[in-house]
């Protein structure tokens, strides 16, 4: 069996397509791409089972579709697995169609869009199988079993669509082999945010929280929190340091900080092994000082918190179920222990008004984190928020490409139009980042080391690229 795993070409006038391993698929001008870790896990599982596998990350490698098909012509693939997302789906389907023209391989689509629209996508003659949800072991089973025996797939048999029962989620993540990184040029995934070489890891899957807008728990990896052991996590960290010279690691879990005992156990294992490496993670507000101090001692360099809104009403409506005092206290404690705090905020949550936009901007300024990210809410198919907006007639997208989450809104609220939300988004960036106090403070704190200067120039370049576009929204 000969398998190709493909992150297909996706580039537009808006920039590079961020599809693989992205909860928020979008395009961006700067080439800051996440490592396709789920493809890497799939490759590791296939290789462990003596199945030959190649990976092409066409976005990172800047390969065209014609280059991909030329390469496929020279190979005898039995299976070509193509990742999908909502804003890239036209590109994904074009890739599948062109591959089918030059290869007898069965075409398998994976990812959230294919999972949600499995039966619809199978109407295309060039699509053979949809692997729904968590797909690593599904791909292995497609290689080794009859399709009728494979859990988690939708497929065609004699022109009839068959939908097998869902595959149970992977319970013991320690049984997964480490991601297969040797098939990638890892320098493609370096970022100005991290020391180079930096690496991405996942220590858990699934998120127990019920946020209505969040794609992965609702479509891909479920709400059941499943975690690797501290030993497994730190074994992989140690491997990355010794084999690849890792200087920084990003834990890309939905919420790394779930479970105080687990977090502290990982931190103490890092300390016990004397691993001198910086790391970062995504966290949920509500951490206590003890946990934060353990994280700092173990090398935690920064935490990204999903704040989302400065309106308690909106936080409740989207089922975030955090509160403003808790948010303020967590940022205060994070600063106190010496960890850099990042805040992410959304414009366009259920019930958004100009008043709630102002509350969000003011909270961001009051928290005054190291950096922030504002984004327009994109209600991806399969989420509760998508269903709510569709029912209310507030979805304004004309094509799937409109779901590119980088700059445009595809929704309206009862009080704000699509254009209002885009203006509010640009205004939020302006009011936070162009404050004289922030510009001065940010510049001074980035002059302490070469790495800090790298972050400064990388961040400034990214902001200016965005700002040239955002400012048009304010006119």
Same domain, 344 and 198: yes
Length of the chain counted residue by residue: 475
Same domain, 197 and 155: no
Same domain, 198 and 152: no
Query: What does the pLDDT read at residue 195?
Result: 87
Question: pTM here?
Answer: 0.94
Could you tell me the CA-to-CA distances from 335 to 328, 365, 367, 370, 443 in Å, in that order? 11, 15, 10, 9, 18
- CB-CB neighbours of 65 under 10 Å: 17
Low-confidence ranges of the chain (pLDDT < 50): none
Residues 6+ apart with CB under 8 A from 347: 357, 360, 374, 375, 376, 377, 421, 424, 425, 428
Query: What does the pLDDT read at residue 443?
Result: 82
Which candidate, 132, 75, 145, 65, places its Cα nearest to that of 105? 75
Query: What does the pLDDT read at residue 389?
Result: 97
Same domain, 145 and 200: no
Residues 6+ apart with CB under 8 A from 287: 257, 330, 333, 334
Residues 6+ apart with CB under 8 A from 5: 39, 42, 43, 53, 54, 55, 56, 81
Phi-psi region of 228 (alpha: psi -120 to 50; beta: other; left: phi over 0): beta
Whether residue 179 lies inside any domain: the answer is: no
Same domain, 45 and 194: no
DSSP string of 90-107? Answer: HHHHHHHHHHHHH--PEE
Instruction: Give me the CATH number covering residue 311.
Output: 3.80.30.20
Whether residue 239 lies inside any domain: the answer is: yes
Decide: 38 and 220 in contact? Cβ < 8 Å. no
Instruction: Give me the CATH number covering residue 51.
Output: 3.40.50.2300
- The secondary structure of residue 158, as a DSSP letter, is T
Tokens of 295: 């994280």
Rounded to 5°, angle at Cα 327 from 322 and 331: 150
Same domain, 202 and 148: no
Whether residue 170 lies inside any domain: the answer is: no
What value does the mean pLDDT of the chain take? Answer: 94
Whether residue 76 lies inside any domain: the answer is: yes
Whether residue 171 lies inside any domain: the answer is: no
Containing structural domain, residue 460:
190-473
- The secondary element (H helix, E strand) that includes residue 114 is helix 112-116
Count H helices and E strands in the chain, helices first: 18, 18
| Chain segment 289-338, per-residue pLDDT in tens | 999 999 999 999 999 999 999 999 999 999 999 999 999 999 999 999 99
First to last CA, the chain: 57
Whether residue 183 lies inside any domain: the answer is: no
Same domain, 232 and 90: no
Same domain, 388 and 292: yes
Same domain, 280 and 133: no
Whether residue 142 lies inside any domain: the answer is: yes
Decide: 35 and 21 in contact? Cβ < 8 Å. yes
Tally of structural domains, the chain: 2
Whether residue 173 lies inside any domain: the answer is: no
Which candidate, 285, 373, 302, places its Cα nearest to that of 337? 302
């Amino acid at each position: 069996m000969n398998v190709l795993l493909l992150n297909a070409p996706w580039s537009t006038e808006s920039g590079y397509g961020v599809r693989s391993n992205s909860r928020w698929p979008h395009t961006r001008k700067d080439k800051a791409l996440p490592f396709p870790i789920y493809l890497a896990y799939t490759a590791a599982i296939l290789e462990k089972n003596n199945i030959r596998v190649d990976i092409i990350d066409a976005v990172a490698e800047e390969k065209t579709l014609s280059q991909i098909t030329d390469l496929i012509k020279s190979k005898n693939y039995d299976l070509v697995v193509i990742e999908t997302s909502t804003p890239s789906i036209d590109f994904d389907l074009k890739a599948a169609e062109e591959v089918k023209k030059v290869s007898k391989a069965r075409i398998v689509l994976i990812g959230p869009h294919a999972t949600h629209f499995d039966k619809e996508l199978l109407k295309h003659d060039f699509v053979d199988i949809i692997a729904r949800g968590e797909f690593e072991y599904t791909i292995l089973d497609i290689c080794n079993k009859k399709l009728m025996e494979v859990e988690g797939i939708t497929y065609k048999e004699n022109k009839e669509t068959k939908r097998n029962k869902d595959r149970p989620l992977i319970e013991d993540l320690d049984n997964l082999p480490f991601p297969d990184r040797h098939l990638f040029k890892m320098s493609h995934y370096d970022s100005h945010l991290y020391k180079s070489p930096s690496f991405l890891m996942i220590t858990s899957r699934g998120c127990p929280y019920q946020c209505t807008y969040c794609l992965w728990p609702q479509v891909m990896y479920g709400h059941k929190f499943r975690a690797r052991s501290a030993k497994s996590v730190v074994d992989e960290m140690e491997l990355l340091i010794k084999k690849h010279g890792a200087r920084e690691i990003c834990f890309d879990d939905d919420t790394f900080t779930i479970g105080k005992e687990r977090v502290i156990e990982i931190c103490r294992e890092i300390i016990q092994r004397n691993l001198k490496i910086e790391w970062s993670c995504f966290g949920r507000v509500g951490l206590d000082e003890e946990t934060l101090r353990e994280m700092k001692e173990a090398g935690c360099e920064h935490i990204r918190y999903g704040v989302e809104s400065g309106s308690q009403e909106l936080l409740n409506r989207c089922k975030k179920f955090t509160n403003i005092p808790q948010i303020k206290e967590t940022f205060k404690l994070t600063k106190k222990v010496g960890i850099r705090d990042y805040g992410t905020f959304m414009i366009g949550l259920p019930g958004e008004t100009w008043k709630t936009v102002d509350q969000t901007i003011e909270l961001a300024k009051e928290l005054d984190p190291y950096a922030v990210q504002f984004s327009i809410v994109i209600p991806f198919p399969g989420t509760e928020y998508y269903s709510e907006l569709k029912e209310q007639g507030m979805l304004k997208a004309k094509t799937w490409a409109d779901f590119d989450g980088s700059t445009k809104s595809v929704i309206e609220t009862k009080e704000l139009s699509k254009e209002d939300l885009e203006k509010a988004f640009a205004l939020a960036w302006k009011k936070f980042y162009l404050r004289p106090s922030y510009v001065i403070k940010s510049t001074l704190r980035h002059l302490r080391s070469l790495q800090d200067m790298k972050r400064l120039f990388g961040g400034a370049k990214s902001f200016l690229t965005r700002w040239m576009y955002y400012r048009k929204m304010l006119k």
